[in-house]
Amino acid sequence: MQGEFDRERLPLTSDETSHRTGHGDLRAFEAVYRDHFRRVWAFASRWERDADRAEDLLQEVFVRVWRALPDFRGESALGTWIHSIAVRTAIDGARGDRRREERERSAVADESAAVEPRPGAAVDLERAIAALPDGQRRMFILHAIEGYRCREIADSMGVATGTVQSQVFRARQKLKEVLER
């Protein structure tokens, strides 16, 4: 009995944590969250300009992780698996956003969405990426930062490959313009 109590205090391996979390152990899930929330937050805050929306994405990712952990087979590292859930969750949300935006916005509003930096201010890459219009920013993140191929992005987002290529190209042009100032 004493040995079992001491075992509860020892750090768990990733496999033990995922197994215990998959069986409803909240303490184990807290460990999963602590170990992986920074990477998911970094992705979410790049994906969403608004901090509240990024936080919503973060929460949705970990809700999905909690639900899916019983099915985690360990074929990849737990962090890789969680990150793939984050990307899929973001893409799912973007599909809904895209449909909503198509109904609500005009093409002019989309092009004017970029935030202009103050003249003379040092602009870093993260800030420049955050200033891109939503479609360009998201496709650029998936392609240039996350390493997905244009075809994979197109398939997952339900758009033509040419659309992805165009958005990534435009994003690169805008980033180059902003960073060369």
Average pLDDT of the residues in 129-138: 91
Residue 169: C-alpha distances to residues 36, 46, 116, 163 (Å): 31, 18, 19, 10
- Look at domain 115-181 and name its CATH class: mainly alpha
Summarize pLDDT for 76-131 with one digit per residue, the tens.
888 999 999 999 999 888 776 555 555 555 444 444 444 454 444 434 788 888 88
Q: Which fold has domain 14-104?
A: Rna Polymerase Sigma Factor; Chain: A (1.10.1740)
106 exposed, middle or buried (CB, 10 Å; 0-12, 13-18, 19+)?
A: exposed
pLDDT band for position 158 (cuts 50, 70, 90): confident
26 contacts 66 by C-beta, under 8 angstroms: no
Query: What is the mean pLDDT of the segment spanning 8-33?
Result: 63
Domain ranges of the chain: 14-104, 115-181
Confidence band for 75, pLDDT divided at 50, 70 and 90: confident
Write the CA distances from 51 to 45, 77, 176, integer angstroms: 7, 28, 25
- Give the chain's end-to-end CA distance (angstroms, integer): 67
The mean pLDDT value of the chain amounts to 78
pTM: 0.62
